[in-house]
Amino acid sequence: MSPYQILIHWSPPDDAYVVQVPDLPGCMTDGDTLEEAIRNARDAIAAWIADAREVGDPVPQPSRYDLVSVLASSPLAQTA
């Protein structure tokens, strides 16, 4: 399986990294650390795909992306 793009941003109100998976509608998670958010994203993607297969829904192929950007408001941008 090809990797799905994940979008990660820091959410001050949640005091957490929030992750979205654009190719999988509604697939979101979060984590207190960047590492935890990425780990949770892998679990969320696997669960999303398993649920879709269980009910017979199609599983979208991952999109191809050539650019990864870090939002300026993210703590990641300050360490890059």
The C-alpha torsion from 75 through 4 and 46 to 32, rounded to 10°, is: 0
Please state the rounded mean pLDDT for residues 13-18.
96
Helix (H/G/I), strand (E/B), else coil: 77: helix
pTM for the whole structure: 0.77
Which domains does the chain show, CATH number per domain?
1-61 (3.30.160.250)
Q: How far is CA 20 from CA 42, 55, 56, in A?
A: 11, 22, 23
pLDDT digits (tens, 9 = 90+) for 21-71: 999 999 999 999 999 999 999 999 999 999 999 999 999 999 876 545 444
Q: How many CB atoms lie within 10 A of CB 37?
A: 21
Phi, psi of 19 (to 5 degrees): -120, 135
